[in-house]
């Protein structure tokens, strides 16, 4: 009896010395977790809020405000110490169809998280917002620093001094957004979305979503359906996905940016709803071809179905390997920068590696002239280099027109977008006698607002009025994005309209729409490129 007890006590002390301070204590409704990695955090088990995050003694949360999903989930929480050598503490907070997991892993200065939903959350936007102390972590994204600002559009675009600022201007495309954070003296707080952390999100690889808003409270976001939410109605290009969102992690450092490639394999041992381990996943490998060599470094492959989405950049030779994907049949899309140029179906099985080569089907007519690249972006055009980080009214922007552009001049003089109340863009060009006759004009667009679409007038001839495009029902380019649905408008110009020789052809492109609005909230669209052939 005595020996047994001694052996038990000895064993227990071994475990506790291996994991010195790691553990969870309760105080009233608070679950206080010491990660033994410098971070101690507290979850209110009565509502699911994270009420304290102390890193090396620095309290990073904001006073009076808590970090939570959406506007707070009102969950009730339970906890368990589990996993390999009891090195994990899992807190499970459930509210109806939503479950939020908070996991502490021995020695990680992090709150590992995942969010499981079986229905569109009643909280509206699905996002985890860490509401952090501005004094602890004052340094966020400079274009999202709104302190002292005046709202100039909605309640979310501000003017601070002479500059426009918004949480929207902190966004990055998902394909490039694995780590984002805020810092202060002796502490940095980073949101890490590793590997397949966006698999249950929506909008594809080029979707951009909010990362930060630096107000009186420093807000750090993991947005799953922020811009995608029906309630906020922001550039939603596809349906929501249910299931497990993440895993993701709120990671603390003494200021340096952490690596985005954190281990998430441990989640498989934690009994979490919807987690699919790597061993139950498959991959797709192959080679993309047919994209012009100038774009070889900007091609990627996307995969999507109703349950998941993934992407992979190709190498410069076109070879790619997907992330580990959930089994299923996917639509696989080849992107030239952000323009879909081929799609096909591919099936993924658990443990399998499917080979699926894909070739661009992009039409490549011999053009008389072209303005910009057909790549699903307005890059190169006037103001395109600034639109992601500021409002079109910002004084740093170049004037929006109406602009007259002569074919052959630098495309940085061609506007990236036109707005109904600001006016059309006029394009001037001459043609040789061999280039006259019936021709085709194509106008590619990447996003439109309030039903805006192009109607042309050429030398007094009025082209057809296209139908309203299928586009997200939301503000667009004023929120720092050009990512909507790519649309191509084709105008068949009859013989007799174009002139040849020294007489200049005058092409006017107007925004038409049944809707109206003021200035930058008037109907508008974003140009991808134009060509005449």
Ligand X SMILES: *[C@@H]1O[C@H](CO)[C@@H](O)[C@H](O)[C@H]1NC(C)=O
Footprint of ligand X on this chain (CB under 6 A)? Answer: 29-30, 44, 46-47, 51
Widest CA span in the chain: 108
What's the closest the beta carbon of residue 63 comes to ligand X, in angstroms? 12
Q: Phi-psi bin for 170: left (phi > 0), alpha (psi -120 to 50), beta?
A: alpha
Contact in structure between 242 and 119 (CB atoms under 8 Å): yes
Looking at the Cβ atoms of 72 and 274, the one nearer to ligand X is 72
- Tell me how far, at minimum, the Cβ of 243 lies from ligand X, in Å: 27
Per-position DSSP letters for 383-414, written without gaps between them? TTTTTTTS-TT-TTSPP--SEEEETTS-GGGS
What element of type H or E holds 18? helix 2-18
Answer whether 395's CB lies under 8 Å from 383's CB.
no
At its nearest, how many Å lie between ligand X and the CB of residue 96? 16
Find the helix or strand (DSSP H, E) in which 411 lies: none
Cβ closer to ligand X: 46 or 459?
46
Nearer to ligand X, 72 or 138 (CB): 72
338 within 8 A of 231, measured Cβ to Cβ: no
Quick one: which of 291, 331, 289 has its CA closest to 310?
331
Alpha-carbon distances, residue 30 vs 76, 96, 182, 251, 294 (angstroms): 11, 21, 26, 21, 57
- Shortest Cβ distance from residue 37 to ligand X (Å)? 24
Q: How far apart are CA 186 and CA 254, in angstroms?
A: 5
Using alpha carbons only, how large is the chain's radius of gyration in Å? 27
Q: How far is the CB of 60 from ligand X (least distance, A)?
A: 16
Instruction: Tell me whether residue 25 or residue 259 sits nearer to ligand X (CB atom).
Output: 25
Identity of the residue, 49 or 209, whose beta carbon is nearer to ligand X in the bound complex? 49
Closer of 44 and 211 to ligand X (Cβ)? 44
Q: How far is CA 139 from CA 40, 51, 213, 217, 308, in A?
A: 22, 21, 11, 12, 34
Residue 134 CB, shortest distance to ligand X, in Å, is: 20
Q: 354 to each of 65, 282, 464, how far by Cα in Å?
A: 48, 8, 45
Write out the two tokens for 299.
Answer: 């091609």
Question: Which CB sits closer to ligand X, 47 or 314?
Answer: 47
| Residue placing its CB nearer to ligand X in the complex, 30 or 485 | 30
Strand locations in 87-216 (E): 88-95, 98-105, 110-117, 127-133, 150-153, 157-160, 163-166, 172-173, 179-184, 187-192, 208-209, 212-214
Tell me whether residue 47 or residue 163 sits nearer to ligand X (CB atom).
47
The minimum distance between CB 30 and ligand X, in angstroms, equals 6
Query: Among residues 73 and 291, whose Cβ is nearest to ligand X?
Result: 73
- CA atoms of 15 and 20, how far apart (whole Å): 8
Shortest distance (Å) from residue 129 CB to ligand X: 16
- Between 48 and 472, name the residue whose CB sits nearer to ligand X: 48
Q: How far is the CB of 248 from ligand X (least distance, A)?
A: 23
Residue carrying the six token digits 């003021």: 518
Closest contact distance (angstroms) between CB of 67 and ligand X is: 12
Q: Report whether the peptide linkage leading into residue 151 is cis, meaning its omega lies within 30 degrees of zero.
A: no
Q: How far is the CB of 47 from ligand X (least distance, A)?
A: 4
Q: What SS3 state is found at 144? A: helix
Give the span between the Cα atoms of 163 and 159, in whole angstroms. 6
Residue 115 to residue 135: CA distance in whole angstroms: 29
Give whichever of 61 and 453 is closer to ligand X, judged by the CB atom. 61
DSSP string, 89-109: EEEEEEETTEEEEEEEETT-S
Minimum CB separation of residue 29 from ligand X in Å reads: 5
Pairing between β-strand 353-355 and β-strand 283-289 as defined by DSSP bridges: parallel
């Amino acid at each position: 009896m005595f020996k047994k007890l001694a052996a038990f006590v000895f064993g227990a002390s071994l475990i506790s010395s291996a994991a010195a301070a790691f553990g969870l204590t309760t105080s009233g409704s608070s679950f206080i977790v010491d990660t033994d990695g410098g971070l101690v955090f507290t979850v209110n088990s009565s509502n699911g809020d994270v009420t304290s995050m102390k890193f090396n003694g620095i309290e990073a949360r904001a006073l009076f405000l808590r970090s939570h999903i959406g506007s707070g989930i009102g969950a009730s929480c339970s906890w368990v110490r589990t996993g390999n050598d009891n090195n994990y503490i899992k807190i499970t907070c459930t509210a109806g169809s939503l479950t939020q997991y908070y996991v502490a892993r021995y020695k990680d200065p992090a709150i590992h998280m995942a969010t499981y939903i079986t229905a569109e959350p009643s909280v509206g936007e699905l996002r985890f917002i860490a509401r952090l102390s501005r004094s602890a972590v004052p340094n966020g994204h400079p274009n999202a620093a709104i302190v002292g600002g005046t709202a100039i559009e909605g309640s979310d675009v501000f003017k601070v001094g002479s500059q426009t600022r918004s949480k929207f201007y902190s966004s990055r495309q998902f394909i490039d957004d694995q780590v984002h954070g805020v810092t202060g003296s002796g502490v940095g707080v980073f949101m890490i979305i590793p590997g397949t952390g966006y698999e249950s999100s929506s909008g594809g690889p080029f979707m951009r979503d909010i990362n930060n808003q630096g107000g009186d409270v420093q807000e750090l976001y993991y947005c799953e359906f922020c811009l995608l939410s029906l309630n906020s109605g922001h550039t939603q290009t596809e349906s929501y996905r249910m299931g497990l969102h993440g895993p993701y992690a709120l990671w603390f450092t003494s200021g340096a940016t952490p690596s985005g490639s954190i281990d998430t394999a441990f989640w498989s041992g934690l009994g979490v709803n919807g987690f699919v381990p790597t061993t139950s996943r498959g991959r797709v490998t192959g080679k993309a071809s047919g994209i012009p060599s100038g774009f070889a470094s900007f091609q990627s492959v996307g995969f999507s179905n109703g349950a998941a989405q993934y992407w992979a950049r190709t190498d410069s030779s076109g070879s790619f390997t997907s992330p580990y994907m959930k089994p299923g049949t996917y639509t696989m899309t080849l992107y030239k920068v952000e323009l879909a140029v081929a799609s096909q179906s591919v099936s993924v099985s658990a443990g399998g590696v499917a080979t699926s080569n894909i070739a661009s089907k992009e039409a490549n007519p011999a053009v008389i002239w072209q303005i910009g690249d057909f790549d699903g972006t307005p890059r190169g055009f006037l103001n395109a280099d600034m639109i992601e980080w500021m409002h079109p009214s910002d004084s740093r922007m170049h004037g929006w027109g109406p602009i007259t552009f002569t074919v052959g001049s630098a495309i940085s003089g061609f506007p990236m977008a036109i707005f109904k109340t600001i006016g059309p863009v006029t394009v001037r060009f001459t043609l040789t006698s061999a280039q006259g006759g019936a021709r085709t004009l194509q106008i590619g667009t990447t996003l439109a607002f309030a039903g805006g679409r192009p109607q042309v007038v050429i030398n007094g001839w009025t082209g057809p009025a296209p139908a309203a495009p299928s586009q997200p029902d939301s503000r667009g380019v004023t929120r720092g994005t050009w990512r909507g649905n790519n649309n191509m408008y084709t105008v068949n110009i009859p013989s007799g309209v174009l002139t040849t020789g020294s007489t200049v052809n005058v092409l006017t492109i107007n925004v038409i729409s049944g809707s109206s609005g003021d200035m930058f909230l008037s109907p508008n669209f974003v140009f991808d490129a134009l060509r005449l052939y």
